[in-house]
Amino acid sequence: MYQTTIKKSVSLVGVGLHRGNPVNLTLEPLEENSGIIFVRKDVGVSIPLVPGNVVDTKMATVIGKDGHTISTIEHLLSAIYAYGIDNIRVTVDADEVPVMDGSSASFCMLLDDAGIVQQASTKKIMIIKEAVTVRDGDKYVTLTPSDDQTYNFTIKFAHPVIDHQAYILRFSKENYKKEIARARTFGFLQEVQYLRSKGLALGGSLENAVVLDEKKVLNPEGLRFENEFVRHKILDAIGDMCLLGMNFIGNYEAFAGSHHLNHKLTVKLLSNPQNYEVLEVQGSKEREYAKAYA
Q: Could you write out the three-class secondary structure of 125-177?
A: EEEECCCEEEEECCEEEEEECCCCEEEEEEEECCCCCCCEEEEEEECCHHHHH
Would the CA dihedral through 104, 237, 20, 220 be positive or negative? Answer: positive
CB 155 within 8 A of CB 229: yes
Q: Are the beta carbons of 266 and 51 closer than 8 angstroms?
A: yes
Q: How far is it, in rounded angstroms, from Cα 211 to Cα 40?
A: 30
Looking at residue 284, its pLDDT comes to 59
CB burial string 32-62: b at 16+ within 10 A, e below: bebbbbbbbeeeebebebebebbbebebbbb
Contact between 176 and 231 under an 8 Å Cβ cutoff? The reply is no
Decide yes or no: CATH 3.40.50.1820 for domain 2-292. Answer: no
What is the C-alpha separation between 182 and 159, in angstroms, rounded?
A: 22
The 8-class DSSP code of residue 89 comes to E
Q: Determine the Cα–Cα distance for residues 265 and 181; give it in Å rounded to an integer.
A: 23
Going by their DSSP bridges, the two strands 88-92 and 22-29 should be labelled as antiparallel
Please report the pLDDT score of residue 285 as a whole number: 67
Q: What single-letter amino acid sits at 259?
A: H
Cα 146 from Cα 251, distance rounded (Å):
6
Question: How confident is the model over 123-162, as pLDDT tens digits?
Answer: 999 999 999 999 999 999 999 999 989 999 999 999 999 9
Query: Catalytic residue positions?
Result: 259
Amino acid, res. 290: A
Residue 283, pLDDT score: 64
Chain-centre distance of CA 228, in angstroms? Answer: 16
Number of Cβ atoms within 10 Å of the Cβ of 113: 14
Q: What is the pLDDT along the chain (294 residues), one digit of tens a residue?
A: 899 999 999 999 999 987 788 999 999 999 999 999 999 999 999 999 999 999 999 889 999 999 999 999 999 999 999 999 999 999 999 999 999 999 999 999 999 999 999 999 999 999 999 999 999 999 999 999 999 899 999 999 999 999 999 999 999 999 999 999 999 999 998 887 777 777 767 788 899 999 999 999 999 999 999 999 999 999 999 999 999 999 999 999 999 999 999 999 999 999 999 999 999 877 656 777 777 776
pLDDT recorded at residue 151:
98
Q: What is the pLDDT of residues 60-82, one digit of tens each?
A: 999 999 999 999 999 999 999 99
What pLDDT score does 289 carry? Answer: 74
The answer to whether the predicted template modeling score (pTM) of the entire model surpasses 0.75 is yes
What confidence score (pLDDT) does residue 204 get? 82
Is the separation of the CB atoms in 79 and 101 below 8 Å? no
